[in-house]
Structure 1
Amino acid sequence: MLPSPFQFERPSTIADAVRAVGDSGDGMFYAGGTELLLAMKMRVIRADRLIDIKGIPGLDCIAVNDMNEIEIGARCTHKKIAGDSVIREHVPALASLCAEVANIRVRNVGTIGGNLCFGEPHADPPTMLAALKARLVLEGSKGTREIHAEDFIRSEMETVREPDELLRVIVFPRPAGPVTYRRFKHGERPSVNVAMAWSLNAGGSTIRSARVRVGALGSRPQPLTAVEDALRNVAVAEARRAIETALPAALDQLEVNADRHGGADYKRHLAGVLLLRNADEAIIAGGSWLK
């Protein structure tokens, strides 16, 4: 099936793109198009105008800024992120994640910004970015605003982005400890995924704080607050035991959608298994993180 007829525009600046898309809802930004075009062909989404942002400079840059934060342009493809030297040095788990997203076609042309804006609950990047305490910078007709990554997805296939807002860049602090990611997937999408980021003390022997996010169970990534509390100021060597103690109660608090990939109890069990595997990797990495 072909999509309904639409106009195609190629602005050269963000301001022109925002003006072109308008706020009427009949225009949409277009970058990789791996999910948008498929939805349009299936007539699930209709757009009278596509605003191609591939020609706008600066949207595909990756760098460490003056605040020691990592910036990833929203138009960066998964392949670019997977192979970038900055990401591989500072957040190798994110590079590995992007190297395994979906399939080779999606990795080559699909963008991290498009992945986030589509709001698909069974996606890899949102869970990792929530654990990294990332912020998403949006530019629209009313100006610029920042949204925390874990607040960006409102519900399944719905985000807080306004129709005329363009996601420009994703920003997060350079990790101060190991970052890990595990998933269990059916086909090309995760049915459960878990990301964890530790902040270590100066000697690398104690966890100052931890962020744990579980995704693909509901409409958006969810925190395991009890596990985070249990890891605060705990020795790296004792982390697995602390997690095992707090895990049962933490898993019970998760909102889980049972579907063809498994029931709620099964998915909670998978989340626990994945988290402990994250912990084993982080413990090994933690000992050498600041050496």
Structure 2
Amino acid sequence: MLPSPFEFDRPSTIEDAIRGVGESGDGMFYSGGTELLLAMKMRVIHTDRLIDIKGIFGLNRICLNEANDIEIGARCTHAKIASDPVIREHVPALSSLCANVANIRVRSVGTIGGNLCFGEPHADPPTLLAALNARLVLIGRDGTRVVPADDFIRSELETIREPDELLTLIVFPCPNGPVTYRRFKHGERPSVNVAMAWSIDAGKATIKGARVRVGALGSRPQPLKVVEDALRGLPVREVRSAIEAVLTTALDELEVNEDRHGGADYKRHLAGVLLLRNVEEAISVGGGA
């Protein structure tokens, strides 16, 4: 099936792209199109105008800025992120994640921004970016706003981005401790995924802070606050026993959608297994330093 007829625009600036969407939001931004074009062909999504942002300068850069934050342009493909030396050095978990998203076609043309804006619950990047405490930069008619990755996805296939807002940049602090990501998948999408980022006090071998996110269970990544609280200030050697003590309580608090990927109890069990594997990896890659 072919999509409904639409106009095609290729602006060279962010301002022109935003104008091209129109005040009524008739247009849609387009870059990789791995999700959008399929949905248009299936007539699930219709737009009067596609705004191709591939010609806009600066949306596909990756760097470590002066504030020691890592910046990733929203138009960066998964393949570019996977091979980038800055990401490989400072966040190898993100490099590995992007190297294993879906299939080689999707990794080659699909973008990190498109993945986030589509709001697919069974996706890899949103969970890890939330654990990294990432901030997303949106530019629209009313100016620029910065939103936490935790708040960006509102529900299944719905984000807080307004139709005229373009996601331009993803920013997060350069990690000062281990960052890990594990998933269990059916086909090319995760059924359950768990991401964890520790901030380490190396001198004392204790955890100053931890962010743990579980994705693909509900409509958006969810924090395991009980686990985060249990880890704060804890010696690394005591981590596994501390998590095991609160794990059942933490998992019971998760929102879980039962679907073809499994029932609620099964998915909670998988989340617990993946969390403990994250812990083992974090300790092995330097969490006990």
Which residue of the partner structure matches residue 170 of structure 1?
Answer: 170
Tell me the distance in 1 between the aligned counterparts of 2:224 and 2:287. Answer: 24
Which residue of the partner structure matches residue 270 of structure 1?
Answer: 270
Shift of 1:66: 1.0
User: Residue 274 of structure 2: SS of its match in structure 1?
Assistant: helix
Contact 2:200–2:207 under 8 Å retained in 1: yes
Give structure 1 stretches of 5+ with no counterpart. Answer: none
Is 1:105 paired with 2:122?
A: no
Q: How many residues align?
A: 289
Contact 1:184–1:191 under 8 Å retained in 2: yes
Tell me the distance in 2 between the aligned counterparts of 1:220 and 1:287. Answer: 28
Which residue of the partner structure matches residue 152 of structure 2?
Answer: 152
Contact 2:116–2:126 under 8 Å retained in 1: yes
Shift of 1:275: 0.1
Give structure 2 stretches of 5+ with no counterpart. Answer: none
User: Residue 194 of structure 2: SS of its match in structure 1?
Assistant: strand
Tell me the distance in 1 between the aligned counterparts of 2:286 and 2:130. Answer: 21
Matches of residues 43-122 of structure 1 in structure 2 within 5 Å?
A: 43-122=43-122
> One-letter code of the match for 1:106?
V
Tell me the distance in 2 between the aligned counterparts of 1:11 and 1:260. Answer: 41
Which residue of the partner structure matches residue 258 of structure 2?
Answer: 258
Q: How many percent identity over aligned positions?
A: 78
> One-letter code of the match for 1:191?
S
Shift of 1:210: 0.3
Which range moved further: 198-207 or 170-179?
198-207
User: Residue 38 of structure 1: SS of its match in structure 2?
Assistant: helix
Matches of residues 227-238 of structure 1 in structure 2 within 5 Å?
A: 227-238=227-238
Contact 2:205–2:288 under 8 Å retained in 1: no
Tell me the distance in 1 between the aligned counterparts of 2:110 and 2:235. Answer: 40
With structure 2 as the length reference, what TM-score do the two structures score?
0.99
Tell me the distance in 2 between the aligned counterparts of 1:60 and 1:221. Answer: 25
What is the alpha-carbon root mean square deviation over aligned residues? 0.9
Shift of 1:287: 4.6
Which residue of the partner structure matches residue 207 of structure 1?
Answer: 207
With structure 1 as the length reference, what TM-score do the two structures score?
0.98
Q: Alpha-carbon deviations, 1:140-180, whole Å to 9, x = none? A: 00000001001000000000000000000000000010000
Matches of residues 136-151 of structure 1 in structure 2 within 5 Å?
A: 136-151=136-151
